[in-house]
Structure 1
């Protein structure tokens, strides 16, 4: 089995490491928080991020582009010619190109591996992962992500998986806004939130967004949990579309118009999410 270096053992990353260890992979783990190290005693803890580069595959589950550009250049520079970097971060495809330039030969083996699902899906081994990159690198990445994903889709060249994920999250945000608007309308009509969500779950107006709202315990905790992530993803999607000369104004208006306030993330929210992904 490939040895795996891992960065970003946060809410999603930690159960990924658990699944990798359970599948029999040797895992070199860089993590700052002592409590995470204690929960993963069979992982080989390393002192610096670049130390994970001495692996067959390096898996990165960092929060955003800024964190990737802060942490990963030294990792890419230390990677061997046959080491593959698998990036789970939802961000801008050109960030991967910028990272590749840090490789000794000027071209690193990088696979973008954006995913759809929750920490519970990781623990159950039922995550959905999209893989974009050279076929041989994608094949290597598939061996590793199979430890926690049961649906692995190849999307094309490097960067294509991120574009798929950004469009997915754009549509998810729009559908979530509409569903939350329906929940508010239901309350005004005297319908309990839980009753409406239960009905939608088995009716034509239901959606994955509706199921997520129910799983989170209702509209309020759902909004609190998804807002900072959707903010950064919509910002990235808007930028990628602008560079491609693509007009997404209608979809972006639907995604930003509703109970979820999807402006730019505040500095405090960004810092909290960065800490969680270490």
Structure 2
């Protein structure tokens, strides 16, 4: 980045950021490194200390962030936490400075709409902007951002989005970005589940794992799991994609519920949800999502990837 670009970005808005966990921390860091004075809040003191060392201003509460920044990003783990942060006592809704909430979480369209309606009463616009690309994409600034909301608010935050990745404007109403993100995550997690079954079946039949992936990726069965997660995280045995099984369960559960509410029967999605939930129940909720293949092996009595 040139000095002129940095100084230009420094003249832009100084955003707030609530929720600096696995995804939020690298996104906030990118904004800091782009020259923005970011004010951050999280319950994780270690995460706050890391960002403070990088140049962030640490707030003592959600309310302090909303009293300090016109634009506030949120990256939060569950719909309930997002709703509490946005609309609860001492939440963003009580802030004196905030005018635009940019929600990067995956919380589902119903909660997103509820929060957007609640904030709009106080004159606060909501930009629904879930992201795809994982922690690696957050660090590199290559996220896909599915943004929906008031066009004026979207335009105000576009320069900040450019620091984080590529923005796709998918609609003008909060909730539309959430729906697209859930569909994307459901496809991704379903692809990983069926690929795990195919992979274990191939091993059981004596196929070489490397050759199997290479052939699949040269043919019609390739998908995000065969192209990325298996070669990078399963075959090397690292199982370090950076997204836990419990979060997959949350996302695919929201996705199936929303699709069924739209009248789609969701036969395949429902079975995939059951598979992920069962893995979570077998002590797997905190494990990396790529470890699902270990559970399929266990259920199939195949040796090879077990701890």
Which TM class, normalised by the smaller chain length? 0.7 to 0.9
- Count matched residues: 268
Match status 1:62 vs 2:79: no
**Counterpart in the other structure of 1:86:** 102
Give 1:24 deviation, angstroms.
1.1
- Partners of 1:68 and 1:141 lie apart in 2 by 20
Match status 1:23 vs 2:34: yes
**Counterpart in the other structure of 2:265:** 248
Match status 1:105 vs 2:121: yes
Rg larger in structure: 2
1:71-127 Cα shifts (integer Å, max 9, x gaps): 222333234576210111112212123323544834530011111111111111111
1:152-200 Cα shifts (integer Å, max 9, x gaps): 1001022111111111112222222221111011101212333322443
**Counterpart in the other structure of 2:232:** 215
- Partners of 2:14 and 2:250 lie apart in 1 by 32
Structure richer in helix, relative to its length: 2
Give 1:224 deviation, angstroms.
9.3
Structure 1 residues not aligned, in runs of 5+ = 274-278
**Counterpart in the other structure of 1:48:** 61
Q: CA RMSD in A?
A: 2.9
Give 1:254 deviation, angstroms.
5.2
CA contact 1:8–1:31 (8 Å) conserved in 2: yes
Q: Which of residues 159, 166, 169 in structure 1 aligns to 2:182?
A: 166
TM-score, structure 2 length as denominator? Answer: 0.77
Match status 1:261 vs 2:276: yes
Instruction: Specify whether residues 264 and 201 from structure 1 end up closer, same or farther in structure 2 by C-alpha distance, changes over 3 A only.
Output: closer
Of the structure 1 ranges 136-145 and 17-26, higher mean CA displacement relative to structure 2 is found in 136-145
Match status 1:9 vs 2:23: no
Of the structure 1 ranges 137-146 and 23-32, higher mean CA displacement relative to structure 2 is found in 137-146
Instruction: Specify whether residues 174 and 34 from structure 1 end up closer, same or farther in structure 2 by C-alpha distance, changes over 3 A only.
Output: closer
CA contact 1:29–1:46 (8 Å) conserved in 2: yes
What secondary structure does 1:167 align onto? helix
Higher RCO structure (Cα 8 Å, ≥6 apart): 1
Large movers: runs of 4+ above 6 Å: 268-273
TM-score, structure 1 length as denominator? Answer: 0.85
Match status 1:37 vs 2:55: no
Give 1:63 deviation, angstroms.
0.5
What secondary structure does 1:247 align onto? coil
1:58-81 Cα shifts (integer Å, max 9, x gaps): 000001101112222233323457
- Partners of 1:248 and 1:63 lie apart in 2 by 27
